[in-house]
Structure 1
Amino acid sequence: MKENPSASRFQEYLSVKRHKRCRRPATAHCVQSSSGQQKARFVDLLPSRQLADFLVNLYLSTYETTFRVVHVPSFLQEWTTFWNSGLEFSDRSCATEILLAKALTMMACASCLADDTSLVAAGSDRTSLSQISHNWLQAVALWLGSIPEHARLNLHVMQVKCLLVTARQAIAWDGDLVGVMAGSLIREAVMMGLHRDPTLSPNMTPYWAEIRKRLWLTVVEIELQASLHLGIPLALSWEDFDCPPPSNVEDNDFSFSSTSMAPERGISILTKTTFQIVLAQSLRVRMEIARLINRARLALNPNEIMSLSDSLARSLAEAPAQLRDDPGSDDTSKNAFQRSFYLFLMWRSMLALHRPVLLNHADVEKEIYSVSRINCVQASVALLAQLEFLSEISADMSPRPGDIVLPHVLRLKGGLFQDDIFHAAITVCLELRLQLKDSQISLPPGLIANLVSQSALYQRKALLQSIENALRYFENKVRSEARACKTFTILCILYMTLETKFATGSTPVTGGGAPSTQKSLTIDEACPLASRRCLDLLQSHKHHLHQDPSHDANNDAPSLNVRHCHIPRYLAYFVKSEC
């Protein structure tokens, strides 16, 4: 029977909901955008050239090195020509409108990647840029809606749509609805023939053939990530297209007038297109994973899961060292973004593949299910490892303005990475809960037994530290943007119950010594404590908005919400374990 929400133990949670409604700022979708609204001229929306150039170049050096959309030299030539014209002509010409639509979406996408020092130097700040970015995307969306339907089947318009989807995910502007647009993109791309090998058209120039290859892979990746995020079936299968990956060349190696493509570089040589090529090598297996886990009649075939897992792990192992290894001293911002993005997408698919097995067979002691449990923990730790940099910087009591406190990829505010950090952290919580059951039998005294116990102790400490990093990540999100309240509260509840259980057990988490006399918390007892902490963070939200952003080392943390269908599955196991 559903419990009465007015019960005393729900009061803290209800207070959080009331306070969140009061503090949550109005978002862009609350602004009226009826068809009769006057469409703003793109020229009037442009910021200063200094800020515009900074944001465009930031996009081109980060996101454009992953999901390829434009030919950089051609775009920059048009961009420079536009500014040198003195803005004395109307932006109603089709070519100029398309150019500015691309630029506005690029700037919006890069707005969450900018550091405070660069923004101040360009005459802007994070708060105002956030609101302006929403206005840019709204204007581009209205402009796309005003284009006649037959005119939308155009490569330039397709580029604008891909940039719009990317930007909506990056700044969390209706990012949850991006799956609708992703499905539409696939249909339009197929109608334009992007899914076919360009060499089948004898009159296709090398320039347009390369652009079509890049754009098709970008559209497919957008659809694939939307499928993993929303839990919806893919709109296409591997057999539906034969478009090959693009060439591993730099954009300067070919131009619109090229009659032949330059020789390809080795895959170990990192170019702006290497990321897309390497990611395409695992595209088939990742599409199979999305198809498997999103079937309406989910049937877990252990052999199929292990085969897909091995293929994905093999693709990860065969990736160039620049995309999978730890950064070196000569690491660049571009390489860091590519590496962070690549590892996130690969481990995201690995966790999505094994998570259903873990949730359905966590208590079954069979080798095939134990392998999924190990893979889940490995993928979760790999995803949470991107928060370790945040933990190190947060320990510094006086961060320098402009410090990058998060890997670039984790500055993205929603959509594409909306629940991956939560699922990774909650999977680690489940693993620790299972370890509590596994450690019921104490080992006999002896040197080897002590070494085994110490090894298990250090592993638990490392796993708990990864959860603490995730909590710090979501705590900052609640405090700075009044988002991810439910995510933070649930994770806080589970962490408190686990931490106190380990502290009161025979093997304390903090090291040697006698067990603590502290009482172990149940979920019912931890719930009001977590809700109260969330309420405190929300109450500090208004004060946080008036602070200088440069004083907050963590204000770049992205927004994450919880997929409601998974919350009961995780909590149910913890509740069952307490009974």
Structure 2
Amino acid sequence: MQKPQGQSRRIVRPELKRRRPPLACVQCYSRKIKCDRESPACGGCVRIGKGHECIYRNAPSDDHRPVQTWPRPRPRPSAKMLTDEGALTTRHAAYLAPSAVEGGMAHLKGSEMSTKFYGFSYPLNLYQQFPELRSYIAQIKCQNPTINELRDEIYGIANSLRPRYQQHSSQEGIVERFEALIPTRNTADMLVQTYIDRFEVIHRIIHIPTFMADYCGYWDKTCLVSADFFAQLLLMMATGSSLHPEVAFNGVQLNPSRRFCLRWIDAVESWLVPSTFDPASESSYTLTTHTLLVVAKRANSVHESALWSSTGSLVRRAMAAGYHREVGSAMHISLFNREMRRRLWSTVAELDLQASIERGMPPSLRTSDFNVHAPLHLEDEALRDSIDGMPPAPQLLDTWSTCSCQVLLSRTFVARLEICSLINGSQDRDVSDEVLQLSDTLIRALQEIPAWRDTGRSPRDQQTVTYVRSAVAVILDQYLIVLHVPMAIQSPPTWKTHVSRLARLDAATGILMHHRRLVDDGILSECAYQHGLVLGALNLCHELYLSWTNSSGMSHMSTLTSPEIAQAHLVVVERALQLLHGRVSTTLEGLNEFYVLAMVIGLIKSKICPQLTTTAEHVAAQQVIQLSEEVRSAIPTLSADDAEDASAFMCTQPDQSNHGFAPASPSAQVDYNFSMFPDDLGFLHGDFLLDEIQVS
């Protein structure tokens, strides 16, 4: 099988070819492994953390001088180092870049002029804090070569199917094309209600009574609806379908609803593309639809690696329309529209901040960039009544409303914005005092989350309240983790290290417990997008790893050194791995996260119970192999007949036969089906290569 691009190749220097010296550095030659002879250190030495020991025979100049690689402290590369011929190559910039990040945790993939950067708060970057992980994975993959075979097969197929973006040449008949994609009313009702109960209560985008009036009018045929309505309806249904595994997934085969979900997203995105270059002023409908598109993609794990770019574009679109500024009294804008502008801006800013922290990037905003007021704590019905009158008094925060989550998050937005800038920025200064102050702010916000107890609520409404409380807590815990990681991993440890490790442990455990309860109580499905799940799991694993590694020099967590307590925490992490399995099986996204987390769990098990090392290695390998086989088996379904998919998904209702699914052309199938492939499958592709380690 042809190997995918991106694997290391042996580089032979022309000037040395005639004398045929050993084509390896001293370290690689002694270990009998391949060497790419890169400078200032070869890739093999850098990957095992010994770049500072990499030397070459008969090196007359300092081209091959040893370099210190993170986590060893070293000076930042000078301008001369970056410009000298033969100095820092793009490949090694991936390992030198962390020096500009507080704590030294970043990742740059790619080569030459095609690279992709993952900053400090990107969850998978924590794998760098497990020094034994690479050799552990290499040993498992040596015993289970099927892992590499499945990886190469899936990776090769994903690379061969490049997206071909198809734009509609004409906007004529768009209403008819959108309407042809609407399913039966029973299906639409279920998906729209799911969207309102699980997504709209987190990110306020629409005015629910206004939309539902148009929605009922469409089905009752009492009013005409526009293309904007259909576009928003399709995106709401696509978002809601992410929480319905009984519809979206069956065994190891992707069911048609996943395909139609992606088709809904693709249809709206194709329609929106021309408006991207329209210099005309933005309408609220257009910005609302663009925001719903980002939410739908995020919920369904569609092109996750591009989410940060999408939210940044969304922020600029909102700013171009003036949503970042509080509307003056002289402007002829109603009270209703003023409040809807505040809600939409708050949602856009929150989406960008979340995308930034999850990708490890600085946010698109600074606190000085906006002065719009925070949204009012009002129900939609009360806001509708204020269209022609005075604005009603906001509700107390102890009273539940569909805006409660947005109001709570807006209270800590500035603090979380500062955390994201601080952690993912490039400043080199002592920030420990700022960390403790920001941590206190988030902890107080966690303690002030209302209980919203009301015995008169329906079970569905009570589930929504429980979900919102957990969602707010998870988001705040995410920022607590990334805030404390730099001090938690610093060496040598100080008393501040102890404080940060305790805070990180509590936040990581809290995230995993919230997700566990939401799934166990039937509020979320296992395939749902779990915010902060991987971040919490890896950080909890790192605390266990430090507690059970004698050489770590950090024995603060004495409670975790108890086998019983460590096993209890490990059970929580293994449950998180099960939840991640459900998401990967459904969306084909997150295979890297599952792979790394499964291996880390196996490594920790071998630390806690050395006598079970062999069993732990076998379990980790089988988990990765099983999920990879499920992903591979799902790929052939992408070319299934579309008409058969439609008949399998749609209920037959004679009075609604005109609301079926329109079949897509074969060329269109390639476009939206590509969204099913993981964007990040190559993140660690060049790091854990079995063929770079020769086993005797």
Give the TM interval when normalised to the shorter protein: 0.7 to 0.9
Distance apart, 1:239 and its partner CA: 2.1
Q: Aligned runs of 1:542-553 on 2, under 5 Å?
A: none
Distance apart, 1:105 and its partner CA: 0.8
Kindly provide the amino acid, as one letter, of the partner of residue 412 in structure 1.
Answer: A
Q: 1:71 to 1:481 in 2, by over 3 A?
A: closer
Q: 1:152 to 1:534 in 2, by over 3 A?
A: farther
Distance apart, 1:262 and its partner CA: 2.1
- Given the two structures, how large is their TM-score scaled by the length of structure 2? 0.64
Within 2, Cα distance between the matches of 1:421 and 1:462?
17
Kindly provide the amino acid, as one letter, of the partner of residue 407 in structure 1.
Answer: L
Aligned partner of 1:412 in structure 2 is: 528
Matched, 1:214 2:359: no
Q: Secondary structure at the residue paired with 1:45?
A: coil
Within 1, Cα distance between the matches of 2:295 and 2:229?
17
Contact 1:248 1:265 in 2 (8 A): yes
Aligned partner of 2:203 in structure 1 is: 67
Give unpaired runs (5+ residues) of structure 2: 1-27, 35-137, 638-647, 650-675, 689-696
Bigger radius of gyration, 1 or 2?
A: 2
Q: Aligned runs of 1:197-208 on 2, under 5 Å?
A: 197-208=326-337
Aligned partner of 2:127 in structure 1 is: none
Aligned partner of 1:311 in structure 2 is: 441
Within 2, Cα distance between the matches of 1:34 and 1:330?
40
Distance apart, 1:476 and its partner CA: 3.8
Question: Which one of the candidate residues 123, 136, 148 is aligned to 1:14?
Answer: 148
Within 2, Cα distance between the matches of 1:116 and 1:78?
28
Within 2, Cα distance between the matches of 1:331 and 1:439?
51
Within 1, Cα distance between the matches of 2:477 and 2:413?
13
CA displacement 1:78-121 (0-9 Å, x = unmatched): 2222223279x7xxxxx60111111111111111123638999x
Q: 1:61 to 1:426 in 2, by over 3 A?
A: closer
Distance apart, 1:129 and its partner CA: 1.4
CA displacement 1:181-212 (0-9 Å, x = unmatched): 21122122222221122354453211111101
Aligned partner of 2:323 in structure 1 is: 194
Q: 1:480 to 1:492 in 2, by over 3 A?
A: same
Contact 1:292 1:298 in 2 (8 A): no
Within 2, Cα distance between the matches of 1:526 and 1:160?
48
Distance apart, 1:297 and its partner CA: 3.3
Within 2, Cα distance between the matches of 1:168 and 1:221?
15
Give the superposed CA RMSD.
4.1
Contact 2:547 2:561 in 1 (8 A): no
Aligned partner of 2:179 in structure 1 is: 43
Q: 1:500 to 1:406 in 2, by over 3 A?
A: farther
Q: 1:250 to 1:457 in 2, by over 3 A?
A: same
Aligned partner of 1:290 in structure 2 is: 420
Q: Aligned runs of 1:97-496 on 2, under 5 Å?
A: 97-114=227-244, 116=246, 127-147=255-275, 149-151=278-280, 153-255=282-384, 257-322=387-452, 332-359=462-489, 361=490, 363-389=491-517, 405=522, 407=524, 411-413=527-529, 417=531, 420-437=532-549, 456-479=562-585, 482-496=588-602
- Name the stretch that deviates more: 69-78 or 188-197: 188-197
Q: 1:567 to 1:537 in 2, by over 3 A?
A: closer
Kindly provide the amino acid, as one letter, of the partner of residue 335 in structure 2.
Answer: P
Give unpaired runs (5+ residues) of structure 1: 90-94, 394-403, 442-451, 505-517, 550-557, 572-579
- Given the two structures, how large is their TM-score scaled by the length of structure 1? 0.76
Distance apart, 1:302 and its partner CA: 0.9
Question: Which one of the candidate residues 166, 170, 194 is aligned to 1:33?
Answer: 166
Aligned partner of 1:82 in structure 2 is: 218
CA displacement 1:212-234 (0-9 Å, x = unmatched): 11011011101111111122222
Q: 1:534 to 1:117 in 2, by over 3 A?
A: closer
Kindly provide the amino acid, as one letter, of the partner of residue 60 in structure 1.
Answer: I
Aligned partner of 2:37 in structure 1 is: none
Distance apart, 1:267 and its partner CA: 0.9
Matched, 1:54 2:184: no
Within 2, Cα distance between the matches of 1:36 and 1:220?
32
Within 2, Cα distance between the matches of 1:560 and 1:381?
28
Identity %: 22
Q: 1:411 to 1:473 in 2, by over 3 A?
A: closer
Within 2, Cα distance between the matches of 1:50 and 1:272?
24
Distance apart, 1:26 and its partner CA: 10
Distance apart, 1:422 and its partner CA: 2.0
Contact 2:529 2:583 in 1 (8 A): no
Within 1, Cα distance between the matches of 2:325 and 2:288?
18
Q: Secondary structure at the residue paired with 2:145?
A: helix
Contact 1:388 1:469 in 2 (8 A): yes
Aligned partner of 1:448 in structure 2 is: none
Q: 1:262 to 1:559 in 2, by over 3 A?
A: farther
